[in-house]
């Protein structure tokens, strides 16, 4: 038999590098309601840390710990001007999710191309009628 | 605009494809090692082992290696549902690729009409323990973009 045609070579290994831990870290960071609320607030734009903490009934050190978690997984950046601390969103978790979807979609599209080519070859190669072909 | 359930929607990919073949043949292509060897591996890859225990709870594995250099990956999982020739559900885990990616589920549905079999494939992440505690809805509602991405990906 001929090798499967019309395929995008190396799909399994190609998609291996960009996935995995990073996405897990983001899911982990977003497993906390306060951190999700912080991310939601930051989607509107950068903000000082004290403004950011205002709606939450948690201490400033607790906010700081949440920000450290978000910073570690690359979701936010923090900086200081004078005595004011600021932060903003840098990672885009939705882009990560879209990347996850796109990788799988590309992989499966390649697989289904291969399946279609195989079914066509099988059809051509079958001299006798296939026993499972519906007779009706 | 869709509303999002809470707790989390898993990440999912859905594809549809039509084949000019009866559903029985398409189903066999997914479940017989000899058939899988023929179509599963992309060019540059070769199946080194295809093992299929086709019963509910039974394991399968498809091991592949690069033909032109080092590199080996495998897909393993278990069958959750087997309903020939219309539905096949199995778990899905890469070995040697996506190292930290949680186990996923793949659903294959086949519908045959007028000589054409329509295949629906859905690949979704399990809501594992990490995901289960993710209450996406508040965050997603705030961002308001994921449903568009999912619509595009599904379309």
Tell me what pLDDT residue A30 has: 75
Inter-chain touch A28–B19, beta carbons under 8 Å: no
Inter-chain touch A97–B135, beta carbons under 8 Å: no
Tell me what pLDDT residue B9 has: 46
B153 → closest Cβ in A24, A37, A105: A105
**Residue spans of alpha helices (H) in B3-145:** 23-31, 33-39, 129-132, 136-143
The pLDDT tens digits of the residues spanning A38-72 come to 887 787 778 888 888 777 778 888 899 999 998 88
| CB-based contact, A3 to chain B, within 8 Å | yes
- Burial bucket for residue B68 (CB in 10 Å: 0-12, 13-18, 19+): exposed
| CB-based contact, B42 to chain A, within 8 Å | yes
Inter-chain touch B29–A118, beta carbons under 8 Å: yes
| CB-based contact, A78 to chain B, within 8 Å | no
Q: Which residues in chain A are contacts of B35 at CB distance < 8 A? A: 118, 122
Q: Which chain B residue is nearest to residue A41, measuring alpha carbons?
A: B142
Q: Which chain B residue is nearest to residue A14, measuring alpha carbons?
A: B97
Return d(Cα B17, Cα A72) in angstroms, integer.
41
Tell me what pLDDT residue B81 has: 97
Q: For residue B78, give the nearest of B101, B97, B54 by alpha carbon.
A: B54
Q: For residue A109, give the nearest of B101, B153, B99 by alpha carbon.
A: B153
Cβ neighbours around B95 below 10 Å, total: 13
Q: Are B123 and B18 in contact (CB under 8 A)?
A: no
Please identify which residue in the block is written with the tokens 């906010």: A63
Q: Which residues in chain A are contacts of B133 at CB distance < 8 A? A: 31
Q: ipTM of this complex > 0.95?
A: no
| CB-based contact, B35 to chain A, within 8 Å | yes
Inter-residue long-range contacts of B19-22, CB under 8 Å, 24+ positions, other chains counted: B19/A115, B19/A116, B19/A119, B19/B116, B19/B117, B19/B119, B20/A119, B20/A120, B20/A123, B20/B115, B20/B116, B21/A119, B21/A122, B21/A123, B21/B117, B22/A132, B22/A133, B22/A134, B22/B85, B22/B112, B22/B115, B22/B117
The pLDDT tens digits of the residues spanning A13-28 come to 333 333 456 667 777 7
Extract the tokens encoding A40: 């939601």
Return d(Cα A32, Cα A66) in angstroms, integer.
9
B44 → closest Cβ in A9, A36, A94: A9
- What's the mean pLDDT when you consider all of chain B? 78
**Mean pLDDT value across residues B16-41:** 93
Return d(Cα B111, Cα B120) in angstroms, integer.
9
Q: What is the DSSP letter of A128?
A: S
**Mean pLDDT value across residues B67-79:** 89
Mutation for A interface: B22, B42, B85, most A CBs within 10 A: B42
Distance from CA of B77 to the nearest CA of A (A): 16
Q: Return the percentage of chain A with pLDDT > 90, whole number.
A: 14
**Mean pLDDT value across residues B24-29:** 95
Q: Are B64 and B45 in contact (CB under 8 A)?
A: yes
- What's the mean pLDDT when you consider all of chain A? 73
**Residue spans of alpha helices (H) in chain A:** 11-14, 21-29, 33-42, 49-53, 60-72, 93-125
| CB-based contact, A130 to chain B, within 8 Å | yes
Q: Are A59 and A39 in contact (CB under 8 A)?
A: no
Extract the tokens encoding A84: 């004011």
Inter-chain touch A15–B98, beta carbons under 8 Å: yes
The pLDDT tens digits of the residues spanning A92-122 come to 656 666 777 788 888 899 999 999 999 999 8
Report field, pTM of the whole predicted structure over 0.80: no
The pLDDT tens digits of the residues spanning B90-138 come to 999 888 776 556 788 999 999 999 999 999 999 887 654 333 333 333 3
How sure is the predictor about B25, in pLDDT bands with cuts at 50, 70 and 90? very high
């Amino acid at each position: 038999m001929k090798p499967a045609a019309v395929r995008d070579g190396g799909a399994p290994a190609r998609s291996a590098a960009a996935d995995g831990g990073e996405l897990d870290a983001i899911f982990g960071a977003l497993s906390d309601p306060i951190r999700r609320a912080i991310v939601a607030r930051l989607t509107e734009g950068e903000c000082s840390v004290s403004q950011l903490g205002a709606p939450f009934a948690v201490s400033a050190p607790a906010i700081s710990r949440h920000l450290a978690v978000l910073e570690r997984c690359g979701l936010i950046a923090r900086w200081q001007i004078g005595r004011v601390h600021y932060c903003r969103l840098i990672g885009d978790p939705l882009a990560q999710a879209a990347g996850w979807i796109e990788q799988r979609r590309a992989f499966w599209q390649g697989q289904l191309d291969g399946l279609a080519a195989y079914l066509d070859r099988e059809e051509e190669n079958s001299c006798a009628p296939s026993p499972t072909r519906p007779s009706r | 605009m869709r509303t999002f359930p809470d707790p989390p929607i898993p990440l999912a990919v859905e594809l549809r494809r039509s084949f000019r073949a009866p559903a029985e043949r398409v189903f066999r292509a997914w479940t017989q090692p000899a058939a899988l060897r023929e179509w599963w591996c992309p060019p540059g890859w070769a199946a080194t082992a295809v093992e299929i225990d086709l019963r509910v709870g039974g394991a399968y594995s498809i091991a592949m290696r690069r033909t032109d250099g080092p590199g080996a990956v495998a897909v393993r999982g278990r069958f959750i549902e087997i309903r020939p020739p219309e539905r096949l559900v199995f778990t899905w885990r890469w070995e040697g690729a996506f190292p930290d990616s949680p186990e996923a589920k793949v659903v294959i549905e086949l519908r045959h009409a007028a000589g054409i079999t329509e295949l629906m494939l859905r690949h979704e992440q399990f809501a594992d323990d990490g995901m289960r505690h993710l209450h996406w809805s508040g965050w997603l509602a705030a961002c308001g973009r994921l449903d568009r991405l999912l619509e595009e990906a599904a379309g």
